Amino acid sequence: MNDISVRRLSEQDLTLRVEWFNTPSVYQHMAVDVPISLAATQLWFSRDVVLNPSRYDVTFVDEKQDVVAMGGLTDIDFKNARAELYIVTSPKQTGRGIGTKCVQWLCNFGFGFHRLNRIFLYTMPRNDGARRLYERLGFRAEGVLRSHILHHGKFVDRHVYGMLRDDWSKQEWAKEGILDLSQI
């Protein structure tokens, strides 16, 4: 990914993850309850990440080894060849193309390495920037789940986006099964 590399999410990333998720510009677009504590995040990591074969969480770092984004594929269903994608970019790094590179890597990992047929994701109602990014990368709007989640005390919609293997294979950035996984 040129100036960005990837590694597995580790316990050393959790303090920064908590900081990001407790930042208003981040949590307004995430389906999370705030404040998020480090203790709860450590429990989530040990219970839901480390021991869970149906998710793959990663950290993206720049050439100085500063963390610029975190993301992953969750609810990986190998039988039905699908997974949910998520990405969180550093609040200090938005608008620099990092999200684009990270989503491309995650799609290449899911479609190219894991041979998935479908990757989907959810966005919050006011996250227009994310929706533009996903559409530019080839994701298609599939619908709106009305009043789907309780977000900061009120029920809100969630937008569903999806990409199929056929959609991905037509992208100029698609890479079939050639990811260097030695670093993760």
CA–CA separation, 26 vs 57, rounded Å?
A: 18
pLDDT average, residue stretch 125-138: 92
Q: Give the model confidence (pLDDT) of 53-111 as tens digits.
A: 999 999 999 999 999 999 999 999 999 999 999 999 998 877 778 999 999 999 999 99
Q: Is 138 left (phi over 0), alpha (psi -120 to 50) or beta?
A: left
Domains and CATH numbers, the chain: 4-169 (3.40.630.30)
pLDDT bucket at 184, cuts 50 / 70 / 90: very low
pLDDT average, residue stretch 140-145: 96
Q: DSSP letter for 179, please.
A: -
CA–CA separation, 165 vs 6, rounded Å?
A: 22
Sign of the Cα pseudo-torsion (94, 107, 80, 75, in order): negative
> Pick the residue with more confidence: 183 or 31?
31
Q: What is the pLDDT of residue 28?
A: 64
Cβ distance 57 to 47 under 8 Å? no
- Looking at every residue in the chain, the average pLDDT score rounds to 89
